[in-house]
Structure 1
Amino acid sequence: MKNLRIAWVTVIVLFFLGLSPVSANDTKNIPVESTMTPAEMQVLIDRLEEIKKIDKSTLTKAERKDLRNELKETKKEITRNSGGVYLSIGAIILVILLLILLL
């Protein structure tokens, strides 16, 4: 009976590992150390607040597009330098299943 349980756990783990896309050349998920100081981060956050306060109805279409692109780039920069741990849905499900089966 215990061998059957171990076999099922192995099958489930292999199934979920097969579902997760893994690429050896994927450089997006490599954690990068934050090179920004807190003062630089505050400058970016202040700029985001300024963009939110701008009256966009007075801007031309090109100015709105430039502002939108600046907003996207600023948010990406903040996200890139804020750090944190990211888990995929497959990894979360796998951890939950292992906890249920082992406890």
Structure 2
Amino acid sequence: MKKLAYSLSVLMLFVSLVPSAMAKEDGPEPNKKELSPEDQARLDQLENRFLEIKAMDFNSMEKSERKEVRKELRDINKESKGLGGGVYISTGAIIIILLLILIL
């Protein structure tokens, strides 16, 4: 029973601390990568194409055309993420890492 109470208290501690640790501060990020003019121009092109696709009427398209548009959207998404850079860690991964640190 004590182990269960201890485990639940540790879990509640993590649940209460994670939102405050993940809170975004106001102001510019110190490690933010600046994009070159070429990358910024390409990102603008991708955004414009995305807006064009969003404005399309998919009901009037054939199935093969819709499939091509979905593939193009996936490619746009991958390329824009590559230009933006950055490493993202999910909340679940952070909790697992913290638990492993405490256990070991």
**TM-score with structure 1 setting the length:** 0.52
Distance between the aligned counterparts of 1:60 and 1:69, measured in 2?
Answer: 15
> Which structure 2 residues correspond to residues 78-97 of structure 1 after superposition, within 5 A?
78-88=80-90, 89-90=92-93, 92-93=94-95, 94-95=97-98
**Stretches of 4+ aligned residues off by more than 3 angstroms:** 94-98
Which SS does the other structure have where 1:37 is aligned? helix
1:85 maps to amino acid: V
Distance between the aligned counterparts of 1:68 and 1:87, measured in 2?
Answer: 26
Q: Which string of whole-angstrom CA distances, capped at 9 and with x for unpartnered residues, describes residues 46-101 of structure 1?
A: 101111110011111111111111011111111121112222533x2235887xx8
1:56 maps to what in 2?
58
1:46 maps to what in 2?
48
Give identity over the alignment, percent. 38
1:11 maps to what in 2?
none
Q: What displacement does 1:38 show?
A: 0.3
1:23 maps to what in 2?
none
CA contact (8 A) 2:53 2:69 kept: yes
Q: CA RMSD in A?
A: 2.5
The reply to whether residue 37 of structure 1 matches residue 58 of structure 2 is no
Distance between the aligned counterparts of 1:85 and 1:49, measured in 2?
Answer: 26
1:19 maps to what in 2?
none
Distance between the aligned counterparts of 1:79 and 1:86, measured in 2?
Answer: 11
Which SS does the other structure have where 1:84 is aligned? coil
2:16 maps to what in 1?
none
Which SS does the other structure have where 2:81 is aligned? helix
Structure with greater contact order relative to length (CA < 8 Å, sep ≥ 6):
1
